[in-house]
Amino acid sequence: MPGIYILERLLGHLSKISKGREALLTVVMTGWLVIMPPWLSATVPPQLLFESAEGLQPIAQRLQQVDPQQFLAIMDFMGLQHPGPPIRVILAPDGSDLAQHVPAWVVGYAIGQASTIVLLTDRVANYPYDSLEGVLFHEIGHILTHRAAGGHDVPRWLDEGLAMMAARTWNIEERARLVWAMVAGHQVSFDELNEWFVTDGPSARRAYVIAHALTLYLLDQTSPDFPKRLLAKIATGTPFRNAFAQTALMTLEQAETKFWNQQTLWNRWIPVATSSGMVWLMIAALVFYAARRQRKRAAAIKQRWEEEDLGP
């Protein structure tokens, strides 16, 4: 995502967008702590400060209705006990100055140093986002990752993988996308995967699904608290490579090799092919095929009848 230079440009244009427009403040619900699980009762969710361009206030109001408990789950996943300063959420149209700093396929972006999120509401939400709420959760995941790491750098593939975990669950669509990403492309190193996020739209979409799969793999190979333990070590100033080896009990190179070795065609296809969604897809395909055959057969009979009627 854009760095400090982009941040300076962003804040420079912010007054133009905010001028004459009401900033919307997220209301933190009181009383809901009573029904929270014990591990959530020790903290509060991050506060979101919404700022919207003209005509986007209804969208901001809709986003304010998001359940704050979901932010608490993300905080626990990252290992954060305190929410930190308020997060600024700017809603901007596609033609705004804020949209000019990022590629056309980017729907939103986060700037951890400034606790700022920009949502480009006019852009069609495509993978990895299925809604503007999904974009919000994804970008909040980036902000909270940055905070859990103490502001230290986290590799792009891990940053995006954790944000994907914050925004959605791994489902049949994700598995199908992973199959396609593997079949349509080739094995890449973690460093190459980082570059894919900024290459072009198709490469970025493949990078997202692989980063998501890789993060899930690491959780499966280690423990559910792997992200919080890793980010905590990074926050102490431990270089990422060392922090990863100490937390995962394997080097980055070993993790890379093991991950790709697991991605056999058999392992990728079986969960997809045996899912209920795939069964219904196959049934629908058979129905479509049968209907098409029936139409062709009826057309052939009709044509034969017409030829017979026109015969001598």
Q: What is the pLDDT of residue 16?
A: 42
Please enumerate in sequence order all residues whose Cβ is within 8 A of that of 219, keeping only pairs 6 or more positions apart, or say none.
226, 227
The CA–CA distances, whole Å, from 201 to 105, 117, 124 equal 6, 21, 13
Cβ-based neighbour number of residue 219 at 10 Å: 16
Whether pLDDT at 31 is above 80: no
Whether pLDDT at 170 is above 60: no
Q: What is the pLDDT of residue 2?
A: 42
Amino acid at 75: M
Q: What is the pLDDT of residue 30?
A: 29
59-70: per-residue pLDDT in tens? 999 999 998 888
**83-98 mean pLDDT:** 94
Selected residue with higher pLDDT from 296 and 143: 143
Question: How far apart (Å, rounded) are the C-alpha atoms in residues 43 and 23?
Answer: 25
Whether pLDDT at 287 is above 60: no
**279-301 mean pLDDT:** 59
Average pLDDT, the chain: 77
Percent residues over pLDDT 90 in the chain: 46
**48-62 mean pLDDT:** 93
Q: Which of 2-6, 112-116, 253-257 has the weakest average pLDDT?
A: 2-6
**198-219 mean pLDDT:** 89
Please enumerate in sequence order all residues whose Cβ is within 8 A of that of 123, keeping only pairs 6 or more positions apart, or say none.
94, 99, 104, 106, 107
Q: What is the pLDDT of residue 36?
A: 42
Q: Where are the domains of the chain?
A: 1-148, 154-274, 280-312
Helix ranges (DSSP H) in 26-122: 57-63, 69-78
Q: What is the pLDDT of residue 291?
A: 58
Whether pLDDT at 281 is above 60: no
Token pair for residue 218?
A: 């690491």
